[in-house]
Structure 1
Amino acid sequence: MTTFTLGFAPTRRFVFSKEDAFKYKELIKDTMHGFGLDIKIVDLEGINEEGLLYDRSEEKEIIERFRFEQVDALFFPHCNFGTEDLVAKIAKALGKPVLIWGPRDEAPLENGMRLRDTQCGIFATGKVLRRFNVPFSYITNSAVDSKVFERGFKNFIGAANVVKQFTDMRILQVSTRPSDFWSVICNEGELLEKFGIQIHPITLDELKKKTLSVEKEGGADLKEAVEYIKNSLDWTAVEESDVRRIASLKVAMKQYAAETGSAAIAIQCWSTLQDIIGIMPCLANAILTDEQIPVTCETDIHGAITSLMVQAATLNTVPTFFADITIRHPENPNGELLFHCGNFPVSLSTEDKPELKKHFLFEDHSPGTHEGEIKGGAMTIARFDGDHGEYSIFLGKAKGIEGPYSRGSYVWVEVNDWPLWEEKLVKGPYIHHSTGIHADVIPVIYEACQYIPGLTPDPVDPTEKEIQAWLRGSDINQ
């Protein structure tokens, strides 16, 4: 994954204290670095002595610097009132997600004078950004060291990373959908026209040839994949030749993803593949997903899009898992089973060495699935989908619970109101496929949607009002 780059353009206005503006610029910069995010920050140092945005003659130079550095988002902290027209012009020229905020002012001086008036400037900038038709995010006026600022900043960076990866998305499609799976039909032309999402199709025969070539030629990548499988899983139920072929398939898919510039893969995982190379791809899918190349089953393009969005919301630090929403819990009315044949990331397993087995559904029982329960805890369940030209993303929070044993890879979860979830999923535009992740990314994706025209957030828990209140920091004493 490429590094996320933030354009940092702290702004001031000439009628307020430039000394205090400079002081707060430094405080904000130190605070951002202290958040521990793996991002690159491009500032204005060297453009003028203060490293602040206020001189209209420097507009072109600032835009050129940010373009040269290929910034992915822009942050305009108002270190005093700020220069709202410059903020809007630069934001409009670059067309990236925009964050505005200002540190909360101290009380007026004894003589009644005020040094910064940051909140007042945010109001002005918000209006001018609207005039320029620039969508933007903002954080409630708050102290530099406040939880409100930290929460809002991190949420914005995650949202901007979702936008970055969504607007430059290419998915490797391995064969057509299985003939029985009408539910995963997608409109490739519409995805390209509406969102710029590209699909790169290849055939199962092409994948077979590359897999067998990798297996024959060997090499460091294949050796590493074989060692990973042997060290991470109990593979006593399959042959060593099966391990080598599964590893070869994993390497072949990763090579195709790199060659085509694809960030995710949607594969026809059954039933032709086991006929032509003798294995199921479930474990190979799992390993790639653990490596931040999510692979979705049954050639589910919309599922791959979901997985990339959810993964990006964590700055690509947490793996996703691609699941069927299958049956209700036998005892818990709000419980549900998330399951797939054996494709959940190995790192999520509750066992030290989950079992590598032969597939339990098909008569040939080809090897390639890894089975077992994955860890519970808090997680987000999401699904990007659409029909009739309208697209939305379902969002809900869940937590892992105890439940009966199931074959395949699985986890039982509890949600706030299962009948409400079921109604949303059945009435659509969603299906039985979902993406899970062990992180709360709902506010991140909600915020990202305002920068993706044509995509509507569809949260079930928390509600839209609850998300908005959380983003404002209404639950924090400010």
Structure 2
Amino acid sequence: PKLAQYEITLLDWMEEHKGSRKYVVFANKCWPSFQTQFGFVPCYVNSRLTAMGIPVSCEVDIYGALSEYIGTCISQDVVTLLDINNTVPNDMYESEIKGKFDYTLKDTFMGFHCGNTAACKLTSGTMKFQKIMARSLEPNVEPNITRGTLEGDIVPGEITFFRLQSNAEAELTAYVAEGEVLPVSTRSFGSIGVFAIPEMARFYRNVLIEKRYPHHGAVAFGHYGKAMYNLFRYLGVKELSFNQPKGML
């Protein structure tokens, strides 16, 4: 009931404020205070809204919400927002990826969030507790307040990983990288998938870290790199990066 009321409240707010605008996105507070104030986590509701074409970013990530909006407009499909800072275990790579797909271990990573990805983009979805917060808050502190995640492996197939951002000089920057979600069981929790992007290690080091991007990236389900690259150029993005092939220093 609390989850349903939260969703209704957001939809009512949207109707009151959107006016003549066709699209609405949310950048909502979730981690780490939401569950202690409302008695649940908002991930599942966020996933439902995103499935309706109303992207919701986690952790008040405004540029993440704008990125999701761009992905929704270009792909005309559901998008998601994921952490990009989790590695694929070496034993999983050796047993499930090596020799089956043309990627090195450093080309792969785990795209993860607590449970915000729409059910239509999961191989199967299950309502669960938010495991990270449950470890510190339940059962001894406040029981049953971290329910509300939608867990499951993300559907395999082509993806575009991208983000619009502002730097310290208030200039727009962006990156675009095409890759895929591999049909490999993650054996983990949350909304999660085994992602592969060619030259990901160099891209992570020389773009995401060196150019100070946050750990959130937007995901569109399909290859839309050319359209996004051109859109970012039209927006006047100061610095536009991509996963450069081996031959490009």
Regarding TM over 0.5, the answer is yes
Structure holding more helix per residue: 1
Does residue 165 of structure 2 align to residue 382 of structure 1? no
Post-superposition shift, 1:391?
A: 1.5
Does residue 59 of structure 2 align to residue 301 of structure 1? no
Q: Distance in 2 between matches of 1:461 and 1:378?
A: 18
TM-score (norm: length of structure 1):
0.43
Aligned pairs for 1:352-391 within 5 A: 354-362=125-133, 363-364=137-138, 365-387=145-167, 388-391=169-172
**Deviation string for 1:362-384 (max 9, x for gaps)?**
21452110111010111000111
Q: Distance in 1 between matches of 2:196 and 2:237?
A: 31
Does residue 31 of structure 2 align to residue 249 of structure 1? no
3-state secondary structure, aligned to 1:385: strand
**Deviation string for 1:213-247 (max 9, x for gaps)?**
xxxxxxxxxxxxxxxxxxxxxxxxxxxxxxx2112
Aligned pairs for 1:31-46 within 5 A: none
Point out the structure with max Rg over C-alpha. 1
Quick check: 1:327–1:336 contact (8 Å CA) kept in 2?
yes
Post-superposition shift, 1:456?
A: 4.2
3-state secondary structure, aligned to 1:361: helix
Equivalent position of 1:410 in the other structure: 192
Equivalent position of 2:234 in the other structure: 451
Q: Distance in 1 between matches of 2:244 and 2:52?
A: 29
Q: Distance in 2 between matches of 1:297 and 1:378?
A: 23
Q: Distance in 1 between matches of 2:197 and 2:237?
A: 28
Quick check: 2:83–2:215 contact (8 Å CA) kept in 1?
yes
3-state secondary structure, aligned to 2:132: coil
Q: Distance in 1 between matches of 2:32 and 2:242?
A: 35
Equivalent position of 2:44 in the other structure: 283
TM-score (norm: length of structure 2):
0.81
Q: Give 5+ residue unaligned stretches, structure 2.
A: 94-104, 139-144
Q: Distance in 2 between matches of 1:327 and 1:403?
A: 15
Equivalent position of 2:102 in the other structure: none
Identical counterparts, % of pairs: 23
Structure holding more strand per residue: 2
Q: Distance in 1 between matches of 2:7 and 2:245?
A: 37
Does residue 155 of structure 2 align to residue 398 of structure 1? no
Q: Distance in 1 between matches of 2:224 and 2:54?
A: 18
Higher relative contact order (CA 8 A, sep 6+): 2
Instruction: Label 1:326 to 1:453 Cα distance change in 2 as closer, same or farther (>3 A).
Output: closer
Aligned pairs for 1:31-430 within 5 A: 244-261=1-18, 263-314=24-75, 317-330=76-89, 331=93, 332-351=105-124, 354-362=125-133, 363-364=137-138, 365-387=145-167, 388-401=169-182, 402-423=184-205, 424-430=207-213
Equivalent position of 1:474 in the other structure: none
Post-superposition shift, 1:461?
A: 5.2
Instruction: Label 1:462 to 1:256 Cα distance change in 2 as closer, same or farther (>3 A).
Output: farther
Q: Distance in 1 between matches of 2:186 and 2:14?
A: 37
- RMSD, aligned α-carbons: 2.0
Post-superposition shift, 1:398?
A: 1.3
Question: Matched residue pairs, number?
Answer: 217
